[in-house]
Amino acid sequence: MNVLGLHLLLELKDCNPALLNDLDYIRESMHLTARKVGAHVVGESFHHFSPQGVTGILAIAESHISIHTWPEYGYAAADIFACGSSFEPKEAAQLLAEQLESKNPDITEIQRGMVPTTAVG
């Protein structure tokens, strides 16, 4: 079986609450992560909630990087989905956790698109 993509679910606990509430910092951290691993950004959307919290997504040629933050809990939920092999999603996950100063990251890996190795014909 071949895998079409790798989807990482990040539970970023014990993060710096101030960083989690800073839309510009979140946006730049996600762009920096994408650049460092060689992902190709094709679009984005970010929003700051009142009174606190940020949600954002980078559409990348390889799929997406997304985040939703809860500064009041020092917590962020993030996804990194990468199709193909142009970059290593686990490296991106580590970089994003470091950017948010998560002291307790937990990463779950899901293989997406299990397909036979031989063409059906």
In whole angstroms, give the CA distance from residue 51 to residue 47. 12
The helix/strand/coil state of 49 is coil
Is-catalytic flag, 40?
no
- Contact yes or no for 23/55 (Cβ under 8 A): no
Q: Which of 7, 15, 68, 102 is catalytic?
A: 68
Q: Which of 63, 64, 66, 86 is catalytic?
A: 63
Q: Which of 7, 29, 83, 102 is catalytic?
A: 83
pLDDT value of position 68: 98
Residue 121 resides in a domain: no
In whole angstroms, give the CA distance from residue 6 to residue 20. 25
Supply the range of the domain harboring residue 101.
Answer: 2-115
Residue 82 resides in a domain: yes
Is-catalytic flag, 68?
yes
Residue 120 resides in a domain: no
Q: How many structural domains are present in the chain?
A: 1
> ω before 51 within 30° of 0 (cis)?
yes
DSSP string, 6-26: EEEEEEEES--HHHHT-HHHH
β-pair partners for 45: 57
Is-catalytic flag, 83?
yes
pLDDT value of position 119: 56
Residue 39 resides in a domain: yes
In whole angstroms, give the CA distance from residue 98 to residue 13. 11
- The domain spanning residue 83 has which CATH number? 3.60.90.10
Give the pTM: 0.89
Residue 31 resides in a domain: yes
β-pair partners for 46: 56
In whole angstroms, give the CA distance from residue 1 to residue 60. 25
What averages of pLDDT result for each successive group of 10 residues across the chain (121 residues)?
Answer: 90 98 98 96 98 98 97 98 89 97 97 78 52
